[in-house]
Amino acid sequence: MKKSILVLIILALIIVSCNKSESKKEKDSPNKPTIEGVWSRSFAMGKDVTAHVKYSFFNDSIVYNMNGPMKLNYTITKDSYLNNNRWIGKSGETQYVIFIKDLSNKSLTLLKKKVKNREEAMTMKFPSDSARSQFSSWNTFMKE
């Protein structure tokens, strides 16, 4: 009886150890897309006028840069990142939610919206493919 209990304990430890190794491999896999990194896109703002937007995603923040006729540069501090598709953060007094879809190792599509507060960002429905915000719509960014 004692031997069978000991065997069961050893088997349970082996199974737990294998599961941890597999989940670590999956997490560390170079093929699994990650949001962290620099993502950019260029677009025309009129005849012979081009803008370049760059999102630099870090573990705790996003640095947003826009160069061209309009220059913007600010940092959004992370509050939450939900289900790999909803990034919530704040820059000064401005609260944002950034919806993410079609994340791959080479590109991602996102939509950034200003919101009143965190609760609105948490409960907002995932936007349709045609959704727009004040100065944004769904746009695809390439990984640098």
- pLDDT value for 26: 46
- pLDDT value for 57: 96
- pLDDT value for 29: 56
3-class DSSP state of 74: strand
Q: Which residues contact 67 (CB under 8 A, 6 or more apart)?
A: 51, 52
Residue with tokens 């493919």: 129
| Sign of the alpha-carbon torsion through 72, 141, 96, 29 | negative
Q: How far is CA 67 from the centre of its chain?
A: 22
3-class DSSP state of 13: helix
- Beta-bridged to residue 90, according to DSSP, are 77, 95
Q: Which residues contact 99 (CB under 8 A, 6 or more apart)?
A: 85, 86, 110, 111, 112, 113, 126, 127
Please list the ranges in the chain whose pLDDT falls under 50.
7, 21-26
Q: What percent of the chain has pLDDT over 70?
A: 77
Question: How far apart are the C-alpha atoms of 115 and 117, rounded to whole Å?
Answer: 6
- pLDDT value for 38: 98
